[in-house]
Structure 1
Amino acid sequence: MRYKLGDFVRFVDEKLEGYITKIIDEQMIGVTVEDDFEIPVLASKVTYVHGHGAASHDEEAVTQTSAITTGEFKSKGVHIAVIADVKANALVHLYLVNETSFQLLASVVTDAQKTIKGEFVGMIEPQSAVKVYSAKLSDLQLWPKFIFQVLFHTRQNQPLELPLNVTEQFKAKDFAGAKKIVPILKQQGWLVQLDQPELIIDAEKLKESFFKPAEEKQVVQKPVAELDLHIEKLRDDHQFLGSSEMLNIQVNAFKHALDGAIVHQMPDITFIHGTGNGILKHELHKLLSKHPKVQTFMDARKEKFGYGATKVVLK
């Protein structure tokens, strides 16, 4: 099969063109045309569109480069960005985004039911991005497991950065939050950071907490089942607060209530965040998607809250 997901092709016998959004088998592919309708067709019945599909097919490499190596050396910032195609909304592209000052030697491998396949290998310059995979977001449950391996290189005198070896199985909750502008690409999308700093647990402090006298231990109150995070419900002086202060107060109230719900083994808790500009909702969903005690989360009863509340189901 010489075609792959994301290639732009034209039908040989019809005046149709679109993106390949499914590889059915060695002979058949699925092509999504302008109205987002996917048409199954023999691979022999389509051809690359000159100046469009063929160019992008040969350019798997760096999609946008701005080799910025001046200024402060940045050692963190390796992301996977998921961005919808500008012409075929059904199709999304996965990019490796390098916000660091390192050159990256990267390999992307997929594992689909024990079928291992190399998808990308190459050098990614500082402050640049590379497209590494394309698929239909509606087929998320069929997406393979991704293995990202990254080596860091620089000629500057910098501490050694250990290689990354990250396995990612994308789930619906990864796309539950609002999109944001992806660095370097300057397009709306979802971001997953591959080089998140590891959580360091201070063993001594943890041990001390176990042996604190009973009167020193913090009592965690059981939160209400539905917590309203509107700032006027949390602070009387909200009219004197800046937007960042308000957000911090709301996020802290959310964390405190979530901890309380976990301690008291509540099956679920609902957070009322409103619709607004979506910043608070996005922040909550980002924290929930990484929390080990969260089973899942979803929009709460729409007939009661509209889209202004999130129900969290705990493990």
Structure 2
Amino acid sequence: MKIGDKVRFLNDIGGGIIAGFQGHHIVLVEDEDGFQIPVSKADIVVTNMDDYSTAKAIKLKTKALEKKQRQEQESEYEYHSIKALLHDEEDVDTTDNDDLTEEREITFKKPIEERKGGDLLNLYLAFVPKDKLSITQTSFKVYLINDCNYYVQCAYASCQENNYNLRFQGEIAPNTQILIEELERETINDISRISLQAFFFKRDKTYIGKPSFDIRQKIDPVKFYKSHTFIENDFFDSPALLYHLVHDNEPLTMSTVKTTNSPEVVGNKDSHDTARQNKRFISKKDADIVVVDLHAHELLDTTAGMKPEDIRNYQMEKFYEIMNHYKNRQGQKIVFIHGKGNGVLRQSILHELNYKYKKVQYQDASFLEYGYGATQVIIK
């Protein structure tokens, strides 16, 4: 076989003229359309055995090349060997400009809009009931609210003594809130103490550095049974219980943290209404005597789902609240109505009066005025 020989295919219809060779076993057969087809020598047979001269072979080859060049000029596609075509398919980028535009639009990030006064750090922990009409039965959605112009990276965990259970770790964008978990009612006690570690920063610009915080907070499980602790707020369409963990750059400790029913957190009208609800168990007989009814039905809307120790712990918290408020008011008289019962609450109160509040005198209060189960305390 030589260049210029006419051949036909053994395993297919058609044939052509030999235009060249690739190695020892591949023949380039040019068909009538000018395509060069690589074929094994074993798959073709020569149909014209004329002995072409070298000059004729060169002439045929030159003619074939000229024809190929004309075709290349007339078409936007180039005709290559099979290997070259496969290579071109891998390299050619056929992406439409419109597709590129769409991709840029999808990946484009809108710059963060900062609000005036938002450089003061404020961070909230929020509990939103799923069913606001059934507070004592519903579960809760738990949110972290980043109410400032800074990004915050934080780790939120529940803790028992020195043992921690990570419940959320991640980043919160400026002036946004993020759902961190859903809390079932039977697991509320699991978060009676929480830890929040947080640091704040801005992206793509210079900013004033802020301190990082390691906050410990006690969550009162009893609040989840009291409907008036879930009130209207600026963050959600439904009532929520909010813990203000960072207030104007300052972390709030367990003794200073404010919830939504604190006057400092909500508007004046709402705070006064809530304050009246919170103080319904307190009355004043006169300027010198404060009467505090610690019965559970006076403190709580309902005790459904609460264990006896939960109720007693809440009663003792109210006792501490009153004592800490009046402990420096010399001569103040306080009557705690704790009921007769089995005496557990009374014993707890007397224990605290003996060991924690030593600058007081106490005695049984008047039976005629307060009935059985009342203790009068006088601040010395």
TM-score by length of 1: 0.41
Give the structure with the higher percent helix.
2
Higher relative contact order (CA 8 A, sep 6+): 1
Looking at CA atoms only, which structure, 1 or 2, has the larger radius of gyration?
2
Give the structure with the higher percent strand.
1
